[in-house]
A and B are shown apart, each in its own frame.
Chain A
Amino acid sequence: MMKSPIKLVFRKELKDALRDKRSVMAAMSYAFFGPLLMALAFYVLIGQLTDSSDVKIDIEGGEHAPALVAHLEQHGIVERTEPWPSGQQPITLTIDQDWDEHIATAQPARVVLSADFSSQKQRTDIRRVESVIENYSNQLTYIRLQMRGIDPRITQGVDLVKHDKATKGSKAAMLLGGVLIFILLSVFFSGMNVAIDISAGERERNSLELLLSQPLTTDQLVWGKALAASAFAMFGGVLSAILIPVIFTLLPLHEIGVSVSLAWPMILMIIALLVPLALLATALQLFVSFRAKSFKEAQTYISLLLMVPMLIIFGVEFARVKSQILYYLPLTGQHQALLDIIKGEALQYDALALSALLTVGVAVGLLRLISRMLSSEKVVFGL
């Protein structure tokens, strides 16, 4: 029984690629540094979100209402002593000089809060000032009613009880959306160098002609090469699929009320999702770089090509596109399934199967096209 030429080509290309430090480094570094970078970004973000230091604002007329100022201070809102940073509008609380009189006569005591309410940066600060004042106002009301012998609960016509049904998982999904992009794109980045080397590289070092003159079909050649490059793509994919959840357990995500727990079956599911995608990524890259005359030329084309999956996933992510069709298509199908896995929602297995099938289908079509290309003297010899 003769060994299949596909297997021969696959094994040779894999051996060759594993000895290429540049290819191995490329696959590893993406899988390592991508998630690491994201972790760092999240670390800073969590720090900012859980910041509970004092809010420093300008307080005018504080002398009229020392009780209010004390109340503010108790809740972490203090008078500012340093100047405002440039580009930031001051937050100013002005207490009316008639404060005492209004309190004594049980009228609304006026306090003016002036700030740039559209400022993203100061929003939390303004919100905190507002809620402390509201809180103080409520206390005043209660006291006033009680003094008149009225049950303060009379003011509450409706008791709105808020149940936050956002699970920790769905908060995690929002957060992890960005990171998922890394897992999906890892199969596009990790095999890239190998794909270029075994196609444009083969042509550049003048070994393509001899290889094409051997007793194997171009189909067998293309499949052997595609599987080798896909193996590399998967290597990066598996690495980042394992690393990203691990890195997230090291982050203090519970501080912002997010829990990420990816059990092994989920990770295996993610890895399974990546398999058809790895084949598609490789097929696309081979298709482009077999047309290139040199390694450099192929690199240029492929870095442009990489924009496509990035744009698609980022587009879906940030434009919040919601359509069932997304579940069926290559790339977006895996993306949606990944989101469901993270959210802890039930997977749509039939949609998943269909998108995997379509992905493989497109990849096989592309590989057939490459095989046809390599049978054409125009492409091979650049006539």
Chain B
Amino acid sequence: MIEVKSLQKTFGDVTALDSLTFSAPEGQITGLLGPNGAGKTTCLRTIYGLLKADSGEALIDGIDANKEPLEVRRKIGIFPDKFGLYERLTAREQVAYFAALHGMEGDTAAAAVEEVMRRLDMTAIADRRATGFSQGQRMKVALAQAIVHRPKHLILDEPSRGLDVMSTRILRDLLRELRDSGTSILFSSHVMQEVAALCDQVVVVAAGKVAAQGTPTELCEQTGESALEEAFVKIIGTDEGIAA
């Protein structure tokens, strides 16, 4: 369970989060939808403790990342806003590094790495160095790093950016599978189709506030619109920064 309670965060004069409150329960995919600059990345970074909120709290299973960052980070897998790979390491070495950082070792670690590689269909690139990887292959490595330690919570920041159709499908299948095994998944996006196709629950964020919350169907009902796109535009008040 990921809970965000009245998060407040300002950078200078800019209010990035304005008493943002929502939760991402277990066994569900929660989508954080909002235009560029709505505060999505700020919110996620606060959840895993890289940013400190001015007030309010972000809890993972009841633990505050600001107070016990290491405890929280052991419980989550992160697919960050920007993911850079270590160009001189092989895919397997990178994933193994993150498994080790999460305290896995020996045969257990090796088996976990092997399994996630097979699951993401990346055995062919497992022992190649990352230099020259395609965007899709890079995404797979980053995803493998995020889930190799089988976290109970998975946080993804704009995971489908720059991905081709095949990679997107692999990503979606994986997220559904993880949800069905009880993981709470929170991901941010500014792409409506993706959110509509994947999410059990949508949190629409605009200007650091929750503008609306519910299932895609509920959101349509709330706004009295039949098409999702119209519903989103109506909630946010503008269609700027949103991709169909």
Contacts and interface: CB of A to CB of B under 8 A. Distances in A.
B70 A377 contact: no
Contact of A15 (B49, B89, B101): B89
Interface stretch (B30-38, B78-86, B212-220): B78-86
A16 B88 contact: yes
Nearest to B70: A215
B102 A214 contact: yes
B100 interface: yes
A272 interface: no
B22 interface: no
B17 to A, nearest CB: 13
Given A209-B80, A380-B50, A5 B85 contact: no
Contacts of B105: 2-3
Contacts of B232: none
A282 to B, nearest CB: 20
A8 to B, nearest CB: 5
Interface string B101-115: 111010000000000
Contacts of B87: 205
A215 B103 contact: yes
Given A8-B101, A215-B74, A216-B70, A209 B51 contact: no
B97 to A, nearest CB: 5
A377 B50 contact: yes
Q: How large is the interface on A (under 10, 10 to 19, 20 to 34, 35 or more residues)?
A: 20 to 34
Nearest to A197: B88
B13 to A, nearest CB: 13
A212 interface: yes
Interface in A9-31: 12, 15-16, 19-20
B97 A12 contact: yes
Contacts of A12: 86, 89, 93, 97
A213 interface: yes
A107 interface: no
A108 to B, nearest CB: 82
A78 B39 CA distance: 91
Determine the main DSSP class of B at the interface with A. loop
Contact of B78 (A19, A210, A216): A210
Interface in A323-377: 377
Contact of A215 (B73, B80, B88, B142): B73
A206 B102 contact: no
Nearest to B89: A16
A16 B131 CA distance: 13
A207 interface: yes
A213 B73 contact: yes
Contacts of B48: 213
- Most A C-beta atoms less than 10 A away, residue of B48, B81, B86, B98: B86
A36 to B, nearest CB: 29
Contacts of A158: none
A135 interface: no
B145 interface: yes
Contacts of B49: 213
Contact of B85 (A2, A8, A205, A213): A205
B88 A19 contact: yes
A5 B101 contact: yes
B67 to A, nearest CB: 14
B52 interface: yes
Contact of A209 (B82, B86, B93, B101): B82
B148 to A, nearest CB: 12
Contacts of B98: 214
A210 B83 contact: yes
B84 to A, nearest CB: 3
B101 A214 contact: yes
A383 interface: yes
A324 B141 CA distance: 57
A217 interface: yes
Interface in B144-197: 145
Contacts of B73: 213-215
A350 B41 CA distance: 55
Given A16-B89, A210-B145, A212-B50, A3 B83 contact: no
A223 to B, nearest CB: 14
B84 A205 contact: yes
Nearest to A380: B50
B100 A8 contact: yes
30 contacts: A2-B103, A3-B100, A3-B105, A5-B101, A12-B86, A12-B89, A16-B89, A204-B84, A205-B84, A205-B86, A205-B87, A206-B82, A207-B84, A207-B85, A207-B86, A209-B45, A209-B50, A210-B78, A210-B83, A210-B145, A213-B48, A213-B49, A213-B80, A214-B73, A214-B102, A215-B70, A215-B73, A215-B102, A216-B70, A381-B50
Given A2-B105, A209-B80, A214-B101, 5 more contacts: A5-B101, A20-B88, A205-B87, A206-B84, A215-B73
Interface of A: 2-3, 5, 8, 12, 15-16, 19-20, 202, 204-207, 209-210, 212-217, 377, 380-381, 383
